[in-house]
Every structure is written in C-alpha cells, then in structure tokens.
Amino acid sequence: MRSIIPCAGLLSALTITTAAAAQSVVTLYATADAHTRDVAPNENNGPSERLWIGRGSFWGLGNIRTFVHFDLLELLPGNPNALRSATLSAYQFDSEPAAGGLDTNVHHVLANWSESTVTWANQPPFDPRVWATAQTGSSGLRGWIDWDVTALVQDQVTRQSHLGWMFKNTFESAGASRLGYFHSREYNADPSRRIQLNVEIPTGDAPVMTLSYDALRGGQNTTLTATGAAPGQRVYFIYSLTGLGSQRVPQLGVTLGLRRPSSAGDAVADGGGRAVLTRRVPPGASGRAVWIQGAHYGAVSNIVAAIIE
C-alpha cells in the first residue's frame, strides 16, 4: 500500500535531504486504559472518558488501581540508548476536595489484560518495584502530572516486554485519601489531553507545535490538529509508514523526525495558531503503524505514533 492518507504533493515540491540528528518528541496515546475499585470488585470502567487515579476511601470510593497500555515496542526505536527521556503524562481536570496530593506509583504489569473486561477482582499481577512516583489528587492542581518513566521504557525496550503499567497509591490500607480525575483515551473533546507517553529521541528538530488526532481507524475520517503554530502559516501534515528518521526540508528550514515522509495535506493556522486537517484513512490501512508530524516554515510539531485500528 502506497499511502495511509491521500497525498497533497508537498514532498514532490520540496527537496528532502538527510540531516544530522537533533532531538524531537514522539507522543504515544494509550491503546487501553481503565481504573478499578476494591469496593466494586466486578466493575469495569474501560469505556469511560474518565480515569480515576489515587485513593478515595474517605468518600466511599475505595482504593483505585488504574491500568494503561501503549504500543511502545512497535512504535519506538529498538535501541534503548536512542531514548533520551520518557514521560508518562496525565491531565488532572478535577479531584475530590482535599489539599495536597499523595504519592501514586507506576508499576509494570506482568500479564495480559483487556480494557473491556479488567476489574479489581480479575486484575493482572504486577511487579512490586516502583519505577516512578508523582503526587495526584490535590484539589489545588488542574493540569498535567508527569511521571519520569525513562528507566522503565528503556528496560522494556531492552527486554522487548510490555504488558502495560499500573498506577497505585503507596498506602492502600490507611492514611489520607486523594483522588484525581483524568482524561482517558476515549476523551474526544480535546484529544491532546488524553493520557500519553512522550519520548525524546535523537532525530529531527525539537517541537514547537503540538499535534494530536481524534481517531485513526481504517475506512473512517481522522482529524489532525496542530496547535501552537504561527497564525497565518500553512501547516503541512506529514506521515511515514516506515518509522522515525532524520529528513531535512530546506524550503521549510526544518528537519523532520520521519523516515521516507509523505504528505497527508495542509491547512492554514487560524489567529489562535490552530490548524486542522480532516482526511479519510483507507480501509486497508487497519493494523499498519504510522508516524505523523506537522511542520511549517521554521517549526515542527511532536510526532504522534499509532497502530491504525
């Protein structure tokens, strides 16, 4: 198959040359996420637009364990030394009323699980090692909370093993409760605020714009959105079916982080720096990996990477 989305001819008009590696960011959105509760052991929350992370015992909500999975082994470089940093980010948009947060740890899951069936009662086992910690549940915080999972991603890329991660509070039997509410992968109002993994790799320019998508499904339309662009600039949406690389585009004065890039189309950024492109994903593209990046003169976005559903 030659293209994932119809080309607009950008790359036939611009010269592509190999350039020295810089540093760019690859964004992976979760392929599965769900929270579970000990007070409702058979409850499944996979379809919800909300992810609960923390502990809600004071409000009768129970201990919470939250599971998330990314296609990191298929979409990131196989060489762990190519990963400069990896940050797991979740957007806390609300919380139960409590000042200050509690430590929430990231653990490696040790068995397969399904978003549509996972519950407290059937949850997979996990490695007790704590790979990353951040505080969640403070009513004074509305915004991104980050976990540094660099060592965890490097370890899993090295071992070629990734069954997902679990968020769990340090203490589940006593102490204060702090419960935060986050956007899951089903959240469509602003896809850029879904739970995500951002990995820095030595290829392409550092991003200025932020790229996100609402869905990538064969035979359906997808909407690509770039924010943070210069108003009035024409933003080109560029994709690769072969992975990450370093490609110079002299006419735009940028180095892309894609190998063998092709154009999906372009759109002019509005006065707020937002450019939007809607294209149909071919039906035969399901199951294919794709890497997408936005660019205009002098600036690039992060790279979003996904397996087309």
CATH of the domain at 288: 2.20.130.20
List residues bridging with 173 in a β-sheet.
none
Same domain, 169 and 284: no
Same domain, 37 and 15: no
Same domain, 151 and 108: yes
Domain of 172, in residue numbers? 32-70+90-188
Same domain, 177 and 208: no
pTM: 0.91
Same domain, 122 and 252: no
Examine residue 194 and state whether it is found in any structural domain, yes or no: no
Same domain, 249 and 111: no
Determine phi and psi for 157, rounding to 5 degrees: -65, -40
Domains of the chain: total:
2
Which pLDDT value is given to residue 224?
Answer: 98
Same domain, 51 and 97: yes
Which pLDDT value is given to residue 25?
Answer: 97
Domain termination residue (choose one: 131, 163, 188)? 188
Same domain, 135 and 263: no
Same domain, 255 and 273: yes
Rounded CA-CA distance 178/144 in Å is: 16
Which pLDDT value is given to residue 22?
Answer: 66
- What is the number of alpha carbons within 13 Å of residue 112 lying toward its C-beta? 2
Same domain, 300 and 174: no
Examine residue 195 and state whether it is found in any structural domain, yes or no: no
Same domain, 165 and 257: no
Examine residue 78 and state whether it is found in any structural domain, yes or no: no
Beta strands in 149-218 (DSSP E): 165-169, 178-183, 196-201, 210-213
**How many Cβ atoms from other residues are within 10 Å of residue 147's Cβ?**
22
CA-atom Rg of the chain in angstroms: 20
Which pLDDT value is given to residue 12?
Answer: 42
Domain termination residue (choose one: 188, 212, 229)? 188
Binned average pLDDT, 10 residues per bin, the chain of 309 residues = 35 43 87 97 97 87 95 93 95 91 95 98 98 94 96 96 96 83 96 97 94 95 98 98 94 95 97 97 95 98 97
Examine residue 150 and state whether it is found in any structural domain, yes or no: yes
Same domain, 133 and 40: yes
